[in-house]
Structure 1
């Protein structure tokens, strides 16, 4: 009488070390987010963890470390709860959020750290959120917050919970963050449009209460001034597709002979390009357009969008690494990591 074969033995640290070709201690340091591991060795260990399907024993470890093995991804937004502009709907349709999650999981999944998604868009929800976090449900926080009036970065700092912010903090705060050089990216857009010989150049900026909106506009204007244009016409957008369409209509009203435009996000460009087409403007013959982000929205544009790429997935992965280090090294000082953007030339300019 045959019996079923025994279930496969769970992978161990030693198995991972053997597959990765490193020591057991190196595997342990990678799992614990240690800063001292060489990046190439870290990647080898992360691949080995995935290949062996190693699962850290978080339950046993938490008894010793008092850690939960989970972090919170907190999305904090200004209060908008209208039917026309639902907060959750915008979050899941904006390509940026998916790219952030992908980059975070690239680092967190191999070391067995779970991620909770938490939302906050008003004073009540922010207070409830901080109360929940202070009860020890997670080991740290990745925070996506972009509006200058948002109190959550300072609220998190006061809890002493390890936290990393996506983007430059709106106000000086002792919190680690990862960002792209937004002004340098906007300068790339300005140099490209000026280099094409465009003479009537305008811009659809991001919101002026957001550091990204402020920095992209400042960088663009500074670069255009260096090219001799000291009075660039700017119309404020809101980083949404509908907002891009509305802003482009306003910009054409103020600058009818527009022949070049920097649109401060690909999603806004996706809304703005049909407005140009609707007025008979050919791209790039009549109007050259440069976006910002290099998201999926850039490829959805017609024609495909020339844009400034910020490496969101790589930036998110670095946020995860910074957070793991902060969790494993209490008292570690806050630090910032700035990535350099690049220009991706397609058919719109």
Structure 2
């Protein structure tokens, strides 16, 4: 039997604390420093393990306060947060793919800040990027007679079987807004990033630094990943560089923690090493950093890496990620203002917002052009 890694032992122990009731929902877990001393592992190992548990829904972060225990995640039912339940009218539903992880807490805080000030209550639900759970979330929202809905689509690059629930909202004159992406079948009002341009900017940055052998890692069951991949390919075309199919490694939600990482490892072992990587998001970029470390490679000396979203993860490790901005809190504020205007019929329900991305350069990328400054 293979020996457990320190990282997996930390994850298992924290999970056991939660399932046994030693740490209860809403309680703060040990600090990073305490966990380092307790397990006798590096700070990087603790950050990786805790980050994964946040992603999986076991923990959630409160900026400036620490990391707390969530309700243990269930695969069979959506995460509906009754603590923010509906009362006395003026009720807004919010459905996201994830709640306690990555950029989503900032988006939700932005939404809450506006709705609270405007006297609205909020029911928050999570689909875990599963269309069956999205169906249950939509049924719950309709049963609670919401006045408006903000929703992040689930698997937005695929046909969505729950379209009729959105049409029911329209029939009932309940305004809804999609964020981060939207279902092309509906063409609804939306607030999104220009992800194609973001993918282009990320790739062009590396090309201008002299990199030609660049691979892209993109999630393909969400439209964001498909659009970022399109920008990646366009950058090669516009700069007249040869493009090969193996330079794109794609994956789906289910493949994130298994198939994808194995694909990446096999690529590095069996193929001439790339000099740079463009990643779907910052979370994946940090995983790529870890794979490279296991292979004895350094970032950016051996391989440059660009992430996406400028999340807290971009500066969470010793490698500070070059990345593409995401408005996060502003998106939440804009979405809440839009839905309040739509409910109160004071704004144009047809208006959509597209944010233009910007590059944030840190120390995960370096130039291959040594004779001139880029």
TM-score, normalised with respect to structure 1: 0.70
| Counterpart mapping for 1:1-349 below 5 A | 68-75=89-96, 91-92=98-99, 94-120=101-127, 125-135=133-143, 137-147=145-155, 148-152=158-162, 154-160=164-170, 161-206=174-219, 208-232=220-244, 233-238=247-252, 242=257, 245-253=261-269, 255-329=271-345, 332-349=348-365
Inter-CA distance 159–331: structure 2 relative to 1 (3 Å threshold): farther
Question: Which runs of 5 or more residues in structure 1 are unaligned?
Answer: 1-57, 63-67, 77-90
User: Whole-Å Cα distance in 1 between the matches of residues 305 and 243 of structure 2?
Assistant: 19
Tell me the alpha carbon deviations over residues 117-168 of structure 1, each in whole angstroms, 9 at most, x when there is no partner.
Answer: 1234666655554444334532111111141233345522332221111123
The structure with the larger Rg is 1
Q: 1:307 and 1:246, CA in 2 relative to 1: closer, same or farther beyond 3 A?
A: farther
Please say if residues 146 and 167 of structure 1, whose CA atoms lie closer than 8 Å, have aligned partners that are also in contact. no
Q: In 1, Cα distance between the equivalents of 2:182 and 2:262? A: 28
Does the aligned pair in 1 maintain the 2:99–2:126 contact within 8 Å? no
Cα distance in 1 for partners of 2:313, 2:222 equals: 21
Task: Kindly indicate whether the alpha-carbon contact (under 8 Å) linking 1:202 and 1:258 is maintained by their aligned counterparts in 2.
Answer: yes
The total of aligned residue pairs comes to 270
- Cα shift at 1:269: 1.1
Mapped to 2, the partners of 1:286 and 1:331 lie a distance apart of 52
| CA distance in structure 1 between the aligned counterparts of 2:224 and 2:354, rounded to whole angstroms | 13
Q: Give the whole-Å Cα distance in 2 for the aligned partners of 1:252 and 1:301.
A: 22
Taking the aligned partners of 1:325 and 1:332, their CA distance within structure 2 comes to 8
Q: Give the conservation status (yes or no) of the 8 Å contact 1:242–1:268.
A: no
Which one has the bigger helix percentage? 1
- How many angstroms apart in 2 are the aligned matches of 1:291 and 1:120? 24
RMSD: 2.6
TM-score of the pair, normalised by structure 2: 0.65
